[in-house]
Amino acid sequence: MENAFNIIFPPKCVFCGTVGNVFCDNCISNCSVLQDQRCLICDKGSFSGETHYHHTFDLRYLSCGDGLLSSVLSEPDKVHVSKYPSQLVCPFVYEGNVRECIRKSKYSQKLFMCLKRLAFEGVNLIYEWGYSFNDFCVLSIPISKQREQTRGFNQVDVISKVFAKRFGLEIKSFLKRTRDKKAQHGLTRFERFKNVEGAFYVDGDVLGKNIILIDDICTTGATFLEASKVLFEKGAKDIKCFALSKKL
């Protein structure tokens, strides 16, 4: 049915207007690929996006790369984290067509196929780079029920479905959002961390599970870290993170 509809009313690229695809090959090729992956904690370069320190830490004493994580927080002595994600992978840089696709998809179901195409290209990239997530299950970073009802969908679910299909993984829904926080856009690094405190809870059994968290964009890592914290508290074994784009 969809193919027949596209023959009668061929789609046009939302960026250049070329007939044939909502996100044409030329505009896809103009998307900036993230050449060097980053550590989720300190945002410094990291091989394959692996987190620099793989052990329990206290933020008062943690140094990662050549930066101090304690500088992120104004009161680091009050914050303690026992575990954190072991890896962050992002195929694209959050700029240009990637930025416009992600921004527009949050407010228009009509751009569903545009985001799906971008997700397909991004997930294929990391698959070709040799990443593997055997024995992991997929979790979308959720939005609140109120916001999902307003928008009609969670755009991250589009990415999660593409990711799960490519790597042969099962999608779960253990992670829930307690309530909407104010938008992260425009906040300082410290404000982003404070803004997501208490934003998530776990609904289900995650004991001993390996989880890949999915989001559309990673800026400071605050959302991934807050979500992983509640999952680790409920017994998750290992957590990795995939964001379709990374803001530099």
Domains of the chain, residue spans: 31-246
Distances (CA, A) of 142 to 83, 158, 169, 192, 208: 21, 12, 18, 17, 21
Residue 130 contacts by C-beta under 8 Å, 6 or more apart in sequence?
A: none
212 membership: H or E segment, kind and range: strand 210-218
Cα gap 146→179, rounded to integer Å: 8
Q: Are strands 200-202 and 175-177 parallel, antiparallel or unpaired?
A: antiparallel
- DSSP helix/strand/coil, 225: helix
Look over the chain and give the mean of its residue pLDDT values, rounded to a whole number: 84
Length of the chain (residues)? 248
Angle, in degrees to the nearest 10, between helices 112-128 and 155-167: 40
| Dihedral sign from CA coordinates of 216, 219, 221, 223 | negative
pLDDT of the residue at 182:
59
Angle CA(87)–CA(91)–CA(93) in degrees, nearest 5?
Answer: 110
- Residue-level pLDDT at 108: 72
Across the range 112-116, mean pLDDT stands at 89
CA-nearest of 129, 117, 137, 102 to 240 is 137
Q: Which residue has the tokens 């992670």?
A: 175
Q: Are 237 and 164 in contact (CB under 8 A)?
A: no
Q: Is the confidence at residue 116, as pLDDT, over 90? A: yes
Answer yes or no: is pLDDT of 53 > 90.
no
Q: Looking at per-residue confidence, does 179 or 246 come out higher?
A: 246
Average pLDDT over residues 52-67: 48
**Helix spans in the chain (H):** 2-8, 25-29, 96-105, 112-128, 145-151, 155-167, 189-195, 222-233
For every residue of 111-131, DSSP letters joined together read GHHHHHHHHHHHHHHHHHTT-
Domain 31-246 has CATH 3.40.50.720: no
Of 187 and 56, more confident: 187
pLDDT band at 167 (very low <50, low <70, confident <90, very high): very high
Percentage of the residues of the chain whose pLDDT score is greater than 90: 57
